[in-house]
C-alpha cells in the first residue's frame, strides 16, 4: 500500500485533488511496486509547459469551440500540430500525447479557478485534446504508437514530487477525453489490449509488449493459464459466473424449504456471495475510497441484503424444528432473499456494457444518478423546512401525536400521490395551507427540475453515444489490464486462492514455485475455457499470418467490396483522373476559394501592368488590346468595338 501521509503537504487540498484525478475511476496495478518511468518527471513537465504555452498563444482569447473541433480547423492547423510534435524534440517526442492530456487537465483546473476566463480555458482544453488526436491519427508506425506513445507510463512533477506513473491510455479515460478515445489509433490499441495481442511484460509490468505467440499456429502453445489475464476472457468468465449466480438465486427463491434447512442450491448461492464480498473488500483495500462508484454501492447493497438473509437463516437453524422463532426467522430470511430479485437482474447490466446499446444506456443511467444529487440536495432542504413547520404545528397544543401521519403525507407528495384528507383538521387553516404549498414546491418545481436534469443528461449522452460507448469500453479494458493481482482468480474462485493457496503456501513457498502452483491451479479451474480459447487463438494465428503475408494489419478482414478490388485499375482506365478533376475541395469554404482565385487574378493583373510600364507604350497597348478583345468576346461583343475604342 502507498504511504498516503507522504502524499500530503501544506497545500493538502491541491494534493488531494491531484490524487483524486489520478485514482478516480480505474484500478491501478500494485502501486507500491510501480517501476520508475523511462523519462525523468522534470523533463516531462517541461514538455507539458511548452505545449501549454503554445496553446495559450494559438488561442489568446475566447472563441467558439466549433472553430477548434471542426474538420480542417482554421485554428488547429497542420503547422500547429507539427509545432506541437517538436515540443519534446527527437529524444522525448513519444511523451507529447501524454503531455497534451496533462495540459488538458491543467486547463480544466484553471477554468474552475478562474471563472472569468472559464470559457477560454475550456476551449484551450479542447484544443489540447484535438492536437493529441491529430498526432495519434497521423502516426503510421503502429508498434511505436502503441508501445511508446500510448502505453508507456510517465510522470510529472507535483509539489516537487513525481506523480504516480500513468500512460496516455489511462490519462484519456481518467479525464473522459472522448476526442482522444475516439481516435483510430487509440481504439486499435484498446482492441489489441482487449484481445490480448498487447500484454504486460513479465519482467517490467510498466511496459506493454506485443504478444509473441500471436502468429503461432501450435494449439498447445495457446493452452496457457497466463492467457486468463486477457480482458476478453476475464469478461467472459465474469458473465458466466453472473449467470450462474442468477440461476442459483432463481433456484433458491423458487424452492423454499419450510423446515428452514439449507439445501445445496442455497449453500452455493451464499458461497458465491462470500466470493463476491471478498473481491470487493480486496479491491477497496488496495485502491481506497477512489474505488467507490455507483456499481460498487449497488453491488454492496445486494451483498448486504444476501448476508442479512444468511444470518437470519443461521439464527433460525439455532432453534429446534417447528419452533415458532425458527419459522419466524426462516420466513424473514426468505423475505430478504425475495427483496433482492430486481437487483439480481439489474446487476446483469454491469456485465453487458460491452454491447453498444447497453453500454450507452449505462452511461445515461450513471449521469442521471449524478444529476439526481442536485435534486436530492434541494429536496432535503425543503423537506427539513416543511417537516419542522408541521411538527411545530403539531406541538402547538404541547402534544406530539401526528408525526407518522405527517411523514407519510410528505412522502406521498414526493411520490406524486398527495393526500389532503386529514389536514383540514390539522391546525386549521395553517396545516392545509402549508401542505398545499409543500405539494406545489415538490410536485411542480422540484420534480420538473429533476425531469429537466434527466432530459439534459439523456440528450448530452445520446448525441455522443458512440464516443461514450468507446470510452466505457476503454475504461472496462483498462480495469482488467490494471488488475491488482498477477494471478487471475475471478470471484468466486478467489475463495480457492485465499483458502488453498495464500494461507497455506504464499508465506513460505519461494516465488517461482508459488507462481508455478498458481498456474497449475488456474489451469485446472479454467480448463474448459482454455480449451476453447486456445482453439480460437489458433484460428486467429492463421488469420494474422495471412494478413501479414498480404502486407495488411493483423486485425484486417476482407470485406465484400474488397474481394474484386485487386482486379480494378482505376489509373489505367482513366477513372481516377476523372474523379480527381471533379472532386470538390472540402478543406476550404467556397467563398474562401473564390477570394483566393480573385487574389490570384489581381496578382496576374499587377504583373501585367508592371510589364506594360517597363516594356513601353506599343507593346503595352498591343497587350492591352488583346486582353480587351478577349474580354469583349467573352461577353459576345465584336472586335470592331475594340478598334473604335
Q: For residue 79, is it within any domain?
A: yes
Residues 111 and 197 in one domain: yes
Residue 153 to residues 148, 182, 184, 394: CA-CA distances in angstroms? 9, 21, 21, 64
Q: Decide if pLDDT at 312 tops 60.
A: yes
Strands, E assignment, 265-344: none
Query: Is the peptide bond preceding residue 405 cis, with omega within 30 degrees of 0?
Result: no
Final residue in a domain of this structure, among 531, 565, 599: 565
Residues 511 and 470 in one domain: no
- How many domains does one find in the chain? 5
What DSSP element (H or E) covers 339?
A: helix 324-339
Residues 271 and 368 in one domain: no
For residue range 106-154, list pLDDT tens digits in order: 999 999 999 999 999 999 999 999 999 999 999 988 889 998 999 999 9
Residues 380 and 506 in one domain: no
Closest CA to 477 of 166, 194, 188, 182: 194
Measured in residues, the chain has a length of 645
Final residue in a domain of this structure, among 450, 478, 506: 478
Strand partners, 157: 162
Domain that holds residue 505: 493-565
% residues pLDDT > 90 (the chain):
29
Identify the top-confidence range among 90-104, 308-322, 577-591: 90-104
Q: For residue 262, is it within any domain?
A: yes
Residues 336 and 364 in one domain: no
For residue range 394-405, list pLDDT tens digits in order: 776 656 677 788
Q: For residue 575, is it within any domain?
A: no
Q: For residue 247, is it within any domain?
A: no
Q: Decide if pLDDT at 510 tops 50.
A: yes
> Average pLDDT of 310-319?
88
Q: For residue 219, is it within any domain?
A: no
Q: For residue 238, is it within any domain?
A: no
Q: Are 396 and 427 in contact (CB under 8 A)?
A: yes
Quick one: pLDDT at residue 633?
52
Q: Looking at the whole model, is its pTM more than 0.85?
A: no
Measured CA to CA, the distance from residue 193 to residue 74 in angstroms comes to 35
If one compares 27 and 76, the residue with the highest pLDDT of the two is: 76
Residues 149 and 21 in one domain: yes
Residues 596 and 560 in one domain: no
Residues 200 and 339 in one domain: no
Q: For residue 235, is it within any domain?
A: no
Q: Decide if pLDDT at 373 tops 70.
A: yes
Residues 140 and 160 in one domain: yes
Residues 336 and 366 in one domain: no
Quick one: pLDDT at residue 635?
47
Q: For residue 396, is it within any domain?
A: yes
Residues 156 and 10 in one domain: yes
Residues 385 and 454 in one domain: yes
Final residue in a domain of this structure, among 565, 580, 613: 565
Amino acid at each position: 500500500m502507498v504511504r498516503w501521509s507522504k502524499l500530503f503537504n501544506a497545500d493538502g487540498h491541491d494534493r488531494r485533488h491531484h490524487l483524486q484525478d489520478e485514482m478516480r475511476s480505474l484500478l491501478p496495478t500494485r502501486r507500491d511496486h510501480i517501476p520508475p518511468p523511462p523519462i525523468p518527471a522534470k523533463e516531462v513537465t517541461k514538455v507539458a509547459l511548452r505545449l501549454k504555452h503554445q496553446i495559450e498563444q494559438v488561442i489568446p482569447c475566447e472563441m467558439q469551440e466549433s472553430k477548434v473541433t471542426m474538420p480542417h480547423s482554421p485554428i488547429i492547423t497542420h503547422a500547429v500540430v507539427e509545432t506541437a510534435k517538436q515540443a519534446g524534440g527527437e529524444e522525448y517526442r513519444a511523451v507529447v500525447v501524454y503531455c497534451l492530456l496533462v495540459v488538458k487537465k491543467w486547463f480544466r483546473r484553471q477554468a474552475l479557478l478562474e471563472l472569468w476566463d472559464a470559457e477560454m480555458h475550456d476551449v484551450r482544453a479542447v484544443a489540447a485534446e484535438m492536437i493529441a488526436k491529430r498526432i495519434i491519427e497521423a502516426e503510421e508506425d503502429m508498434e511505436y504508437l502503441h508501445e511508446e506513445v500510448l502505453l508507456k507510463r510517465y510522470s510529472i512533477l507535483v509539489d516537487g514530487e513525481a506523480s504516480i506513473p500513468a500512460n496516455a491510455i489511462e490519462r484519456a479515460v481518467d479525464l473522459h477525453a472522448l476526442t482522444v478515445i475516439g481516435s483510430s489509433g487509440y481504439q486499435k490499441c484498446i482492441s489489441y489490449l482487449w484481445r490480448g495481442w498487447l500484454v504486460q511484460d513479465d519482467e517490467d509490468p510498466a511496459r506493454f509488449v506485443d504478444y509473441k505467440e500471436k502468429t503461432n499456429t501450435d494449439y498447445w502453445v495457446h493452452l496457457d493459464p497466463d492467457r486468463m489475464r486477457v480482458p476478453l476472457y476475464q469478461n467472459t468468465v465474469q458473465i458466466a459466473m453472473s449467470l450462474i449466480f442468477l440461476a442459483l438465486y432463481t433456484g433458491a427463491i423458487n424452492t423454499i424449504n419450510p423446515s428452514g434447512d439449507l439445501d445445496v442450491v442455497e449453500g452455493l448461492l451464499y458461497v458465491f456471495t462470500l466470493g463476491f464480498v471478498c473481491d470487493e473488500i480486496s479491491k477497496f483495500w488496495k485502491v481506497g475510497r477512489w474505488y467507490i462508484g455507483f456499481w460498487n454501492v449497488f453491488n454492496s447493497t445486494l451483498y448486504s441484503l444476501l448476508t442479512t438473509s444468511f444470518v437470519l437463516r443461521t439464527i433460525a437453524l439455532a432453534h429446534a424444528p417447528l419452533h415458532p422463532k425458527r419459522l419466524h426467522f426462516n420466513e424473514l430470511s426468505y423475505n430478504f432473499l425475495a427483496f433482492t430479485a430486481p437487483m439480481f437482474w439489474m446487476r446483469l447490466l454491469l456485465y453487458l456494457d460491452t454491447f453498444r446499446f447497453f453500454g450507452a444506456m449505462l452511461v445515461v443511467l450513471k449521469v442521471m444518478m449524478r444529476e439526481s444529487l442536485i435534486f436530492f440536495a434541494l429536496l432535503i432542504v425543503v423537506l427539513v423546512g416543511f417537516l419542522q413547520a408541521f411538527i411545530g404545528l403539531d406541538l402547538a397544543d404541547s402534544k406530539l401525536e401526528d408525526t407518522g401521519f405527517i411523514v407519510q403525507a410528505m412522502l406521498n407528495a414526493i411520490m406524486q400521490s398527495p393526500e389532503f384528507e386529514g389536514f383540514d383538521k390539522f391546525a386549521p387553516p395553517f396545516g392545509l395551507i402549508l401542505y398545499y404549498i409543500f405539494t406545489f414546491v415538490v410536485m411542480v418545481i422540484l420534480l420538473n427540475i429533476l425531469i429537466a436534469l434527466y432530459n439534459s443528461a439523456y440528450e448530452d449522452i445520446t448525441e455522443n453515444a458512440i464516443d461514450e460507448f468507446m470510452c466505457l469500453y476503454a475504461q472496462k479494458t483498462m480495469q482488467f489490464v490494471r488488475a491488482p493481482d498477477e494471478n487471475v482468480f475471478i470471484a468466486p474462485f478467489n475463495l480457492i486462492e485465499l483458502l488453498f493457496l495464500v494461507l497455506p503456501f504464499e508465506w513460505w513457498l519461494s516465488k517461482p514455485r508459488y507462481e508455478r502452483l498458481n498456474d497449475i491451479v488456474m489451469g485446472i479451474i479454467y480448463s474448459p475455457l482454455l480449451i476453447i480459447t486456445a482453439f480460437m487463438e489458433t484460428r486467429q494465428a492463421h488469420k494474422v499470418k495471412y494478413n501479414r503475408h498480404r502486407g495488411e494489419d493483423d486485425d484486417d478482414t476482407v470485406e465484400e467490396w474488397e474481394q474484386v478490388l485487386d482486379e480494378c485499375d482505376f489509373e489505367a482506365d482513366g477513372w481516377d483522373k476523372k474523379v480527381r478533376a471533379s472532386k470538390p475541395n472540402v478543406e476550404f469554404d467556397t467563398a474562401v476559394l473564390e477570394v483566393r482565385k480573385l487574389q490570384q487574378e489581381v496578382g496576374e493583373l499587377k504583373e501585367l501592368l508592371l510589364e506594360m510600364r517597363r516594356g513601353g507604350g506599343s507593346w503595352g497597348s498591343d497587350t492591352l488590346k488583346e486582353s480587351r478583345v478577349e474580354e469583349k468576346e467573352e461577353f459576345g461583343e465584336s472586335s470592331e468595338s475594340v478598334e473604335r475604342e
